[in-house]
Amino acid sequence: MTAFTPKFGVGASVLRLEDQAFITGRGRYTDDIAPAGLLHGFVLRSPAAKAGFRMVSTAAAEAAPGVHLVLTGADLDHIGDLKSGSMQKQPDGTLAPDRNIPVLCRHRVNYVGDAVAFVVADTRALAQDAAELIEIDYDNEAAAPATATALDLATPLVWPELGSNRAMLYRLGDRQKTDAAFARAAHVTRIEFVNNRLVCNYMEPRSAIGEWNEAEDRFVLTTGTQGVHSAQSIIAEMFAMDPRKLRVVTPDVGGGFGPKGFVYREYPLVLEAARRLRRPVKWAGDRTEHFLTDAQGRDNVVTAEMAMDADGRFLALRVEIVANLGAYTSQYGPFIPYLGATMSTGVYDIAALDATIIGVYSNTCPVDAYRGAGRPEAAFLVEKLVDACARDLGLPVDDIRRRNFVKPSQFPYTTVTGRKYDVGEFEAHMDLALERAGWKAFDTRLAESRSRGKIRGIGMATYIEACAFPGSEPAHVRLEADGAVTLFIGTQSNGQGHATAYAQFLSEKLDLPVDRIRMRQGDTDELKAGGGTGGSRSIPLGGVSAARAGEDLAAKLKKIAADEFEASVADIELVGGSARIVGTDRAMSFGEIAAAAKSPDDIKGFGEFVQDECTYPNGTHVCEVEIDPDTGALAVVGYTIVDDFGATVNPLLLAGQVHGGVVQGIGQALVENTVHGDDGQLLTASFMDYAMPRADIVPFIDFTTRNVPSTTNALGIKGAGEAGTIGATPAALNAVTDALYRAYGIGHIDMPTTPLRIWTAIRAAAGR
């Protein structure tokens, strides 16, 4: 990091450049776009969770008013399935077979919402009316919707030809070493729990517009993504065409959180329909379709055991994770539980691990990466287990953590799964968080709650995550004729504020106000490659590349000015959008420099930072709750965070990312849950049934950082986009459990800890 921070440079609390358009209604989302001659598509979806079916007739739908096209699976033999390709090696060295997602089902459906037909008409309403006229015979079968019973012998098979609902089996660690540690352990603590399934609810439901350019023999797809280049590559493979035959454009995106990083079947459908009809075709999903069909998150059933010596030091960890993949292998679905398991030892010095991950199929919507993608599951597992260990041994939860943290002197530290932690001061950020949360004064607050007939609990989570995965994100910058600078980069803002953050990196190098720096993203025609947004990679990778591109451009601008002034490059400085000779008033504006350039390349800069290892953000969350035991009603009355993000680019943007992540984590712990009936019907398919966190459960958040710069990243940045969610869920659950344990001896409660679930647990403990 530079020692000097300009007004708009790295470290400054610059207001978001994007907000003016958004708050004045001038955002431009996919559903705002209406090309001339636009037609509208509607997907007919299965009402059954598991069934064979026969397409009887589409004639009535084809003859319905305003209908232009009806597509079924039989019409799409030339389009490949949506493939996963993310299976890891099993213990025997094999890769388990994928179960790919067909664009339209042909003879079988495997979850409620599975796509069976696509109707295109003048309006969405006409397309939907026509879809209801399609005659289909379904032969309903018993479904297998539940994770916990997926492997039971009596459970129906999602894919009978596999002979089991097991999708894959992974193992990590050293079983023999782990067994030996358990054999000599003085204490063993065991927990079992459910990591509940979540629906990712972004502001903007998915939509897509397909266009066919006859003259260029080329598609254009406009849709909200987390990276256009990935979508281009996947869809081109499905159509068996050169990726250059598909342009993908992403305008504003109202939230991504992982699931908008995937290709869905509606995208090839609108393209195919547009080519057949020679007119643009739009599909816009409603919120119910979102609940039914967009990739969902979490959904694990977990057993975990910790072996400890007589002093409560961790010897070994044994884990079994049953991870629900849904009906098909989604894009990264099989990889997510494996990724999480590689982080299962958390911030602790644990010498042995035996982790078993069993992926299972079910008659439900596919499961894939959702904010944190495996790392929240890992942090929840180990942080819930550590609290249980403390209760079993009668130790304070902070004490058992101190005894087992990886110490600063142990870095760089390689975990038993091969994760390479470069730096960390875990005890230090925990101590600061406890101080700011008033941990030592909790008993006073507990007594006050009891005086009002309430119970109270306090919990923490000390987390670590892996992000900014190895790779790069090249950045290109260009000086414009008006003296502004344009950045071209292959990440994709979904609301994080990339335009502002990247502008800060460039402002620092060019001494140009951030409002004179523009960002271009989301168009495969403007940039030939890009890694997209996910895993908190944009700022640690893209930001460093942008800084280097700014340095490259700055050097070129100084050279042009030096040539014009007949001066030495060393005598030129960039100040406020101009270049001048140091100590004089001789200056050229950036616009004048652009005009003086001999070649377009003279006013272009390029930067690429290649990172060889992940970064590892970490921190401590402390949550405090108060519960009414007569009703189970819960209030979060305090929330404190001390994070280590290595370096802070923009405190305002950072706080926004952390606050949003905390709300998502609290949502899982306290209210959110996806529920299926025994027949596979989704019982929580709208906001009437699926509870979202609201303002009344979100407390004021005391957030600060205690940064230790990363040695992996060139600017010390670790990444922050997912950390709030990773720390919040175990902190909130541990707080609720603490309250119940203090008052009633209840050491376990599954998420979400709704008032009913709390009330029921209290009544059971009290024998009522």
DSSP string, 141-158: ------STTTTSTTSPPS
What φ, ψ does residue 314 adopt, rounded to 5°? Answer: -75, 130
What are 656-702's pLDDT values in tens digits?
999 999 999 999 999 999 999 999 999 999 999 999 999 988 889 99
What are 40-76's pLDDT values in tens digits?
999 999 999 999 999 999 999 999 999 999 999 999 9
Give residue 4's pLDDT. Answer: 45
What is d(CA 664, CA 352) in angstroms, rounded to the nearest whole number? 32
What the chain holds in terms of domains, given with CATH numbers, is 19-28+471-611 (3.30.365.10), 33-141+201-293 (3.90.1170.50), 297-468+613-765 (3.30.365.10)
Pick left, alpha or beta for residue 524 (phi over 0 → left; psi -120 to 50 → alpha; otherwise beta).
Answer: alpha
What are 526-574's pLDDT values in tens digits?
999 999 999 999 999 999 999 999 999 999 999 999 999 999 999 999 9
Residue 693 near residue 671, CB atoms below 8 Å: yes
Q: What percent of the chain has pLDDT over 90?
A: 98
Residue 663 near residue 693, CB atoms below 8 Å: yes
What φ, ψ does residue 331 adopt, rounded to 5°? Answer: -55, -55
Give strand pairing partners of 282.
Answer: 40, 209
Quick check: helix, strand or coil at residue 178? helix
Pick left, alpha or beta for residue 641 (phi over 0 → left; psi -120 to 50 → alpha; otherwise beta).
Answer: beta
Quick check: helix, strand or coil at residue 52? strand
Mean per-residue pLDDT, 22-34:
95
Question: pLDDT band at residue 576, thresholds of 50, 70 and 90?
Answer: very high
Helices (H), 335-420: 335-341, 375-393, 397-404
Q: What is the maximum alpha-carbon separation in the chain?
A: 91
Helix (H) or strand (E) holding 591: helix 590-596
Q: Give the angle subtended at the CA of 662 by the CAs of 661 and 664, to the nearest 5°.
A: 65
Q: How many CB atoms lie within 10 A of CB 133?
A: 18
Residue 748 near residue 464, CB atoms below 8 Å: no
**Reading across the β-sheet that carries 604-607, which strands appear in turn?**
517-520, 485-489, 475-479, 604-607
Q: Is residue 176's pLDDT more than 60?
A: yes
Report CA-CA distances (Å) from 399 to 108, 456, 685, 705: 55, 20, 43, 22
Report CA-CA distances (Å) from 681 to 116, 158, 368: 17, 15, 20
What are 311-335's pLDDT values in tens digits?
999 999 999 999 999 999 999 999 9
For 526, the token pair is 């403007």
What is d(CA 397, CA 146) in angstroms, rounded to the nearest whole number? 33
- Name which of 279, 283, 212, 270 is nearest 38 in CA terms: 279
What is d(CA 383, CA 486) in angstroms, rounded to the nearest whole number? 44
- Name which of 113, 170, 93 is nearest 354 in CA terms: 170
Residue 472 near residue 490, CB atoms below 8 Å: no
What are 602-640's pLDDT values in tens digits?
999 999 999 999 999 999 999 999 999 999 999 999 999
- Whole-number average pLDDT of the chain: 97
Q: What percent of the chain has pLDDT over 70?
A: 99
Q: What one-character DSSP code corresponds to residue 462? A: E
Give residue 161's pLDDT. Answer: 97
What is d(CA 136, CA 56) in angstroms, rounded to the nearest whole number? 5
Q: Is residue 768's pLDDT more than 90?
A: no
Give residue 671's pLDDT. Answer: 98
- Name which of 655, 634, 639 is nearest 737 in CA terms: 634
Q: What one-character DSSP code corresponds to residue 582? A: T
Residue 383 near residue 398, CB atoms below 8 Å: no
Instruction: Report DSSP letters for 303-318, one per residue.
Output: EEEEEE-TTS-EEEEE
Classify the C-alpha dihedral 85-250-667-654 as positive or negative: positive
Q: Is residue 162's pLDDT more than 70?
A: yes
Q: What one-character DSSP code corresponds to residue 96? A: P
Give residue 569's pLDDT. Answer: 97
What is d(CA 200, CA 131) in angstroms, rounded to the nearest whole number? 27
What is d(CA 353, CA 356) in angstroms, rounded to the nearest whole number? 10
Instruction: Report DSSP letters for 107-134, one per residue.
Output: SEE-STT-EEEEEEESSHHHHHHHHTT-
**Reading across the β-sheet that carries 135-140, which strands appear in turn?**
108-109, 51-57, 135-140
Which amino acid, residue 676? Answer: H
Stated pTM of the model: 0.97
Mean per-residue pLDDT, 177-201:
98
Instruction: Report DSSP letters for 650-685, one per residue.
Output: -HHHHHHHHHHHHHHHHHHHHT----B-TTS-BS--
What φ, ψ does residue 142 adopt, rounded to 5°? Answer: -65, 140
Question: pLDDT band at residue 6, thresholds of 50, 70 and 90?
Answer: low
What is d(CA 198, CA 673) in angstroms, rounded to the nearest whole number? 6
What φ, ψ does residue 716 adopt, rounded to 5°? Answer: 80, 5
Q: Give the angle subtended at the CA of 450 by the CAs of 444 and 456, to the nearest 5°.
A: 75
What is d(CA 279, CA 220) in angstroms, rounded to the nearest whole number? 12
Q: Is residue 460's pLDDT more than 50?
A: yes
